Amino acid sequence: MDPRDGEREVEQWLDAALGQYGRVEPRMGLESRVLANLQSERNRIAPKRRRWWAVGTVAVAAAIVAAVWFGEGSIPRIPPRTVETSTVTHRDNARVSRPPIHPSQVDRRPQEPPPPRLAKRPNHDFAPGKTPKLEQFPSPSPMNEQEKMLARYVQEFPQRAALVARAQTELQKRDEREMAAPWPKNAESTSSDQRE
Amino acid sequence: MTAIATMASEVLALAQAEEDLLEAAVREHSRLVYRIAYSVLRDHADAEDATQETFLRVLRYEKKFARVDNPKAWLARIAWRVAVEWRRQVVRAGTKMEQAGVELPSTGAEVERVLLEQERSALLDRLIAALPEQLRDPLVLSTLEEISPREVAMVLGISEAAVRSRAYRARQILKDKLMEKIGPRK
């Protein structure tokens, strides 16, 4: 037999044997056994995971509540705005001396909260239902002494009273016209000069 | 609290998706994992145990498994490591690695042929086991039809060219040894 043929034969056998070497089949049902094993392992570790999740969730919730609680407590209480006046204060001076701020550096802190509103309570003293509804507004009241004297004068001297009333009306109209006219620029100085 | 509930439901959905992914991997690659384990251990029971252990490890790193690009190569690498560790334990424990039994046919001529084949196969197993590890591993993994030389390279952490050249050298050594031991078939 030719040694080359023998070599070729061994080579062929080796190829076939190596092919068979890796072509092994597992026993039936390997997949289901592996899946069952995985499921049992999952069932074993699931309670532990659930416990950790519960602990983690509670911890996160507690942290959020604590952050909100302490966050609210740390907000400084600012006095009401009525304290500020139009006069220049130290704070304003500091603001003036500061260099111009770039738009990106603008303070984006949340604005101070509005002052708490007082709850609206019904004012029972001025409740509309309690006072009687009147025919005339303002409600008529009895005449005082001066009004009575004036009434007597008008009854006794009606013509003279009419003349006086017309004169008073004209005087009042003239005063109104003068007040409505534009005020001169040097009115103050002239008036003071005239006084002098 | 609504945000926490939403987050919890998302986590549960993610866990379910990971579970499904692992189940699909078992259905698709369990045979490959088994073959890799068997190529190292040469024992069916050990190979199955190594397969189970491989998927248990994957379960432990389930989140990572969901993110890997090539799950097959990743699984093959884990299977390979598990099998190599298993083999070390077996060798340390002094357990004999036995070949699975072969059923003999009834006729005489057939019996002789099967026995001869079995003898040669056993010889080949011994020769492969005697190879240096650097040559044996690429050769053994190259015999598996499910994985390409590129994936073998990923499993072993060497280049594809190294896989090819080492497998070729191992094959040459085996051929020479076989020629010495049995010569051409008569």
DSSP A134-189: PSSSSPP----HHHHHHHHHHHH-HHHHHHHHHHHHHHHHHHHHHHHSPPPTTHHH
In this predicted structure, the answer to whether residue A97 has a pLDDT above a threshold of 80 is no
First to last CA, chain B: 82
Residue A125 is assigned to a structural domain of this protein:
no
**Residue of higher predicted confidence among A139 and A28:** A28
3-class DSSP assignment, residue A115 = coil
Q: Under a CB-based contact definition with an 8 Å cutoff, are residues B184 and A8 in contact?
A: no
Pair of tokens at residue A154: 């008008």
**Residue of higher predicted confidence among B14 and A129:** B14
Residue A169 is assigned to a structural domain of this protein:
yes
Domain parsing of chain B, residue ranges = 1-95, 108-186
Looking at domain B108-186, its CATH class is mainly alpha
Distance of CA B113 to CAs A49, B63, B103, B106, Å?
58, 51, 13, 12
Of B8, B26, B144, the CB nearest to A31: B26
Q: What is the ipTM of this complex?
A: 0.73
In whole angstroms, how large is the CA radius of gyration of chain A?
52
Beta carbon pairs, A and B, within 8 Å: 104
What is the pTM (predicted TM-score) of this model? 0.54
Over residues B158-174, the pLDDT tens digits come to 999 999 999 999 999 99
Residue A156 is assigned to a structural domain of this protein:
yes
Closest chain B residue by Cα to residue A9: B184
Pair of tokens at residue B28: 């698709």
Counting the structural domains of chain A, the total is: 1
Question: Does B23 contact A35 at a Cβ distance shorter than 8 Å?
Answer: yes
Residue A44 is assigned to a structural domain of this protein:
no
Judge whether A39 is closer than 8 Å to chain B, CB to CB. Answer: no
Does CATH number 3.40.50.2300 belong to domain B1-95?
A: no
* A42 Cβ contact list (under 8 Å, min separation 6): B19, B59
Mean pLDDT score across all residues of chain A: 73
Q: B-chain residues within 8 Å CB-CB of A7? A: 175, 179, 184
User: How many C-alpha atoms does A46 have within 13 Å on its Cβ side?
Assistant: 10
Q: B-chain residues within 8 Å CB-CB of A35? A: 23, 26
Distance of CA B84 to CAs A161, B38, B80, B130, B161, Å?
132, 11, 6, 15, 23
Q: How far apart are CA B23 and CA A31, in angstroms?
A: 9
Lowest-confidence region among A100-114, A138-152, B104-118: A100-114
The average pLDDT across B90-117 equals 64
φ, ψ for residue A9 (rounded to 5)? -65, -45
A31-40 burial string, b = 16+ CB within 10 Å, else e?
A: bebbbebbee
Of A9, A27, A41, the CB nearest to B56: A41
The helix (H) or strand (E) run that includes residue B136 is: helix B133-142
Q: How far apart are CA B56 and CA B66, in angstroms?
A: 15
Q: Under a CB-based contact definition with an 8 Å cutoff, are residues A60 and B81 in contact?
A: no
Nearest-neighbour CA in chain A from B69: distance (Å): 23
Residue A150 is assigned to a structural domain of this protein:
yes
Q: Could you tell me the residue range of the domain that residue A174 belongs to?
A: 146-181
Question: Does B178 contact A38 at a Cβ distance shorter than 8 Å?
Answer: no
Judge whether A14 is closer than 8 Å to chain B, CB to CB. Answer: yes
Q: How far apart are CA A90 and CA A68, in angstroms?
A: 34
Residue A1 is assigned to a structural domain of this protein:
no
Q: Which of A105-109, A175-179, A192-196, B6-10 has the highest mean pLDDT?
A: A175-179
Which residues does B contribute to its contact with A (CB < 8 Å)? 1, 4, 8, 11, 19, 22-23, 26-27, 30-31, 34-35, 38-39, 44, 47-48, 51-52, 55-56, 59, 120-121, 124, 128, 139-140, 143-145, 171, 174-175, 178-179, 182-186
Distance of CA A146 to CAs A34, A123, A142, A154, B12, Å?
116, 38, 12, 12, 93
Residue A153 is assigned to a structural domain of this protein:
yes
Distance of CA B149 to CAs B70, B73, B129, Å?
14, 11, 21
A window 52-71, beta carbon within 8 A of B: 53, 57, 60-61
Quick one: which of B39, B82, B71 has its CA closest to B151?
A: B71
Q: B-chain residues within 8 Å CB-CB of A9? A: 184-185
Dihedral of CA atoms B28, B33, B39, B40 in degrees, nearest 10, equals: 170
In this predicted structure, the answer to whether residue A146 has a pLDDT above a threshold of 80 is yes
Nearest-neighbour CA in chain A from B64: distance (Å): 17
Distance of CA B169 to CAs B31, B102, B126, B134, B148, Å?
28, 30, 17, 10, 18
Mean pLDDT score across all residues of chain B: 83
